[in-house]
């Protein structure tokens, strides 16, 4: 697709986002950032003393996927666990404040809300402190979530599973919700963490990064485009999906679709990379929103790649927004135009290349 055509199509899809509705289910976390400066070493132990200047708390993990969907102005319902603690109530309040529905957010009395605290001094991470309890919830808590997720399927266009393998997504929940979603004609998009992809059997599209794809292939290395394509085909069979989108960091992403004789490579676009954390959340959030708006898998992948290039160029885990996405597409369009006018050699991008 030419840049002009891509821009027009993207504008059309973005205009439809506000009428799209997604359910995001998975491991909810709180990302906490403590910023400060270091002036001295502690007299108590050989560690720096960080004088805190400010801190920031944002919903993370699966909730970061929901933030990206909300940033694109689509409607989104969050499903998952928080602890029955003040942090859990804070997370729910933050989500609500961002227009994210919390009817399927369940307070688990047996675990604290997962919190990941990064202490950052002079732009350098000093330490990360994790508060969490992994593992399955009690039967009662599990079933409470399952019921809420099933009833939240009414009125959504698709489901996103954002698995960080903290115990929210059980095999039973994934299987039941996938079957119910498929019966209703909804798509199911998965950001996986399990190594056995049959866990996500029957999903529509799955978006492992290269490491996750390699692990799911029993440690087989994916060293070049051809190996990624071959690996993608194997994964497609394992989870009986329609498509596998392997995200490859600075190498962009590769889409392998069932029934297509060729795969589709989308080169990375980011010029300056500041912070790659959360890029995967932006990819699945944008991909799912585009699919809900009626995009083809290829169109959704191309736009997810543009969205990821925007967020890796920003510091922190700021989600994508409809404005930023369109702005990036316009900038790209202008750049291509200028290159054409200068008569430069134009490498094949960003519509992707076929192999
Ligand atoms: N260094 C980079 N340069 C350019 N683009 C990048 C870079 N890292 C990530 N991206 C973009 O973000 C997408 C997702 O990145 P990646 O494959 O690292 O996902 P991930 O490992 O799931 O990320 P996360 O840290 O959120 O788990 C890539 O396909 C690409 O579009
Ligand atoms: Mg990821």
Q: Is the CB of 248 under 6 A from ligand 1?
A: yes
Q: Is the CB of 281 under 6 A from ligand 1?
A: yes
Least distant ligand from the CA of 255: 1
Q: Is the CB of 308 under 6 A from ligand 1?
A: yes
Q: Is the CB of 251 under 6 A from ligand 1?
A: no
What is the pLDDT at residue 29? 98
Q: Is the CB of 253 under 6 A from ligand 1?
A: yes
What is the pLDDT at residue 241? 97
Q: Is the CB of 313 under 6 A from ligand 1?
A: no
Residue with CA nearest ligand 1 atom 16: 249
* Catalytic residue check, 281: yes
What is the pLDDT at residue 237? 96
Q: pLDDT (tens digit, 9 = 90+) per residue, 71-109? A: 999 999 999 999 999 999 999 999 999 999 999 999 999
What is the pLDDT at residue 195? 97
CA atoms of 72 and 47, how far apart (whole Å) = 42
What is the pLDDT at residue 316? 73
CA atoms of 235 and 231, how far apart (whole Å) = 6
> What are the extents of the domains in the chain?
3-342
Architecture category of domain 3-342 in CATH: 3-Layer(aba) Sandwich (3.40)
User: 265 - beta bridge partners?
Assistant: 254, 353
Measuring CA to CA, how many Å separate 151 from each of 104, 143, 240, 329, 339? Answer: 9, 12, 25, 37, 51
Q: pLDDT (tens digit, 9 = 90+) per residue, 235-253? A: 999 999 999 999 999 999 9
What is the pLDDT at residue 19? 98
Q: How far is the CA of 245 from the centre of ligand 2 (A)?
A: 12
Collect the ranges in the chain with pLDDT lower than 70: 1-2, 270, 344-355
User: What HEC string does the chain produce?
Assistant: CCHHHHHHHHHHHHHHHHHCEEEEEECEEEEEEEEEEEEEECCCCCCEEEEEEEEEEEEEEHHHHHHHHHHCCCEEEEEEEEECCHHHHHHHHHHHHCCCEEEEEEEECCCCCCEEEEEEECCEEEEEEEECCCCCCCHHHHHHHHHHHHHHCCCCCEEEEECCCCCCCCHHHHHHHHHHHHHCCCEEEEECCCCCHHHHCCCCEECCEHHHHHHHCCCCCCCCHHHHHHHHHHHHHHCCCCEEEEECHHHCEEEEECCCCCCEEECCCCCCCCCCCCHHHHHHHHHHHHHHCCCCHHHHHHHHHHHHHHHHCCCCCCCCCHHHHHHHHHHHHHHHHHHHHCCCCCCCCCCCEEC
Catalytic residue of the set 31, 157, 191, 281: 281
Q: Is the CB of 166 under 6 A from ligand 1?
A: no
Least distant ligand from the CA of 308: 1
Residue of 209, 216, 304, 314 with the most ligand 1 atoms within 8 Å of its CB, for mutation: 209
Residue with CA nearest ligand 1 atom 28: 249
Q: pLDDT (tens digit, 9 = 90+) per residue, 129-155? A: 999 998 899 999 999 999 999 999 999
Residue of 160, 280, 328 with the most ligand 1 atoms within 8 Å of its CB, for mutation: 280
* Burial (CB count within 10 angstroms: exposed 0-12, middle 13-18, buried 19+), residue 117: middle
Q: Which ligand 1 atom minimizes the distance to the CA of 191?
A: 22
What is the pLDDT at residue 351? 55
């Amino acid at each position: 697709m030419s840049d002009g055509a891509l821009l027009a199509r993207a504008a059309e899809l973005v205009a439809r986002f506000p009428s799209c509705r997604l359910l995001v289910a998975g491991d909810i976390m709180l990302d906490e950032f403590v910023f400060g400066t270091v002036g001295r070493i502690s007299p108590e132990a050989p560690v720096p003393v960080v004088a805190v200047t400010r801190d920031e708390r944002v919903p993370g993990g699966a909730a970061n996927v929901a933030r990206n969907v909300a940033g694109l102005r689509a409607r989104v319902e969050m499903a998952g666990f928080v602890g029955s603690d003040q942090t859990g109530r804070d997370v729910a309040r933050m989500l609500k404040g961002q227009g994210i529905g919390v009817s399927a957010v369940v307070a688990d009395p047996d675990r604290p809300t997962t919190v990941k605290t990064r202490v950052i001094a002079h732009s350098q991470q000093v330490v990360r402190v994790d508060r969490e309890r992994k593992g399955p919830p009690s039967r009662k808590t599990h079933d409470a979530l399952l019921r809420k997720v099933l009833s939240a399927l009414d009125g959504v266009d698709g489901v996103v599973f954002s698995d960080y393998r903290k115990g929210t997504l059980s095999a039973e929940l994934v299987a039941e919700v996938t079957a119910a979603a498929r019966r209703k004609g909804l798509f199911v998009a998965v950001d996986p963490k399990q190594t056995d992809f049959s866990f996500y059997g029957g999903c529509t599209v799955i978006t492992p990064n290269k490491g996750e794809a390699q692990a799911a292939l029993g440690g087989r290395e994916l060293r070049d485009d051809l190996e990624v394509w071959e690996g993608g085909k194997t994964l497609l069979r394992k989870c009986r999906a329609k498509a596998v989108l392997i995200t490859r960091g600075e190498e962009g992403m590769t889409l392998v679709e069932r029934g297509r004789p060729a795969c589709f490579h989308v080169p990375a676009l980011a010029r300056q990379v500041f912070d790659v954390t959360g890029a995967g959340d932006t990819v699945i959030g944008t991909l799912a929103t585009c699919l809900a708006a009626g995009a083809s898998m290829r169109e959704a992948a191309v736009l997810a790649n543009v969205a990821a290039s925007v967020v890796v160029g920003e510091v922190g885990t700021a989600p994508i927004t409809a404005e930023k996405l369109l702005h990036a597409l316009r900038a790209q369009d202008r750049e291509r135009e200028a290159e054409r006018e200068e008569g430069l050699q134009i490498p094949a991008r960003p519509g992707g290349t076929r192999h």
